[in-house]
Each structure stands twice: as structure tokens, then as C-alpha cells.
Structure 1
Amino acid sequence: MIEFNVPEMHCGACVNRITKAIIASDPGATVETKIPERKVMIESRLNVDRLIAVMQEAGYSAARI
């Protein structure tokens, strides 16, 4: 599982947007979130750079932890 810091993620709507974007790019991905920590954990076939790009396309900056 790859962990990312997503500073703009602050509510359930943010989680939904990020999750939908990741699943659209990799339907087999698993996405877990921790809103208070602004953390997204992803298990995916996509590489780190692509996952960051997908989250950016959804409107959220992300950095691997």
C-alpha cells in the first residue's frame, strides 16, 4: 500500500472525488483514507507518479509519504 499526504482533503466529498478518480483509472485499486491526518493509502497497479497525477486531475495535490 502506498501512502500519500493530501493537504486539501478535508471531508467526505473530497474522499469520494479522490476514490472515484483512482477507481476510474484502476478499477481493481483499493483506497483507504484518514481525513484528520489528510492521508490516502492506495493499493494499485498504477505507479506512484500516475496516482499523483490522477489525484491532481481530481483537484488535489498529493505527495508520497
Structure 2
Amino acid sequence: MQSFHLPDMSCGHCASRIGQALKELDPQCRIEFALGEHRITVQSQQPREALAQALRTAGYPPA
């Protein structure tokens, strides 16, 4: 599992966009959101850098 701190994630709409971006990369990934902590945990077969790039492209660069 990979954990990412996403300072720009603040609401359910953000979580929806993030989920959509990661599911486009890996439809089988599992995502846990901690909105209050601005953190997500992703279980995926994709490498960390690919996940980070998908997050950046969606407008939520990891810190």
C-alpha cells in the first residue's frame, strides 16, 4: 500500500476526482481517504511514481 499526503484535497468532490484519476490508471485499485488529514492510502499494482503522476495530472500533487 502506498500513502500520499495531498494538501489540496479538502472535500468529497476532491476525493471523487482523485478516485476517478486513480481508477483510470488502475481500475482494480483500492483507495482509503482521510480527508481531515489530507491523506490517501492506495492499494495498487502500479508503481508509486505512476500513482503520483496520476495525482499530479488530476490537480492534487502529493507533498
Q: What TM-score comes out, normalization by structure 2 length? A: 0.96
Q: How many residues align?
A: 63
User: Gaps (5+ residues) in structure 1?
Assistant: none
What do you get for the CA RMSD once the two structures are aligned?
A: 0.7
* SS, match of residue 20 in structure 2: helix
**Residue 24 (structure 1) shift:** 0.8
Q: Which protein has the bigger helix share?
A: 2
Which stretches of structure 1, 4 residues or more, deviate above 6 A after TM superposition? none
Alignment gaps of 5+ in structure 2: none
Counterpart of 1:27 in 2: which secondary structure? coil
Identical positions, percent? 32
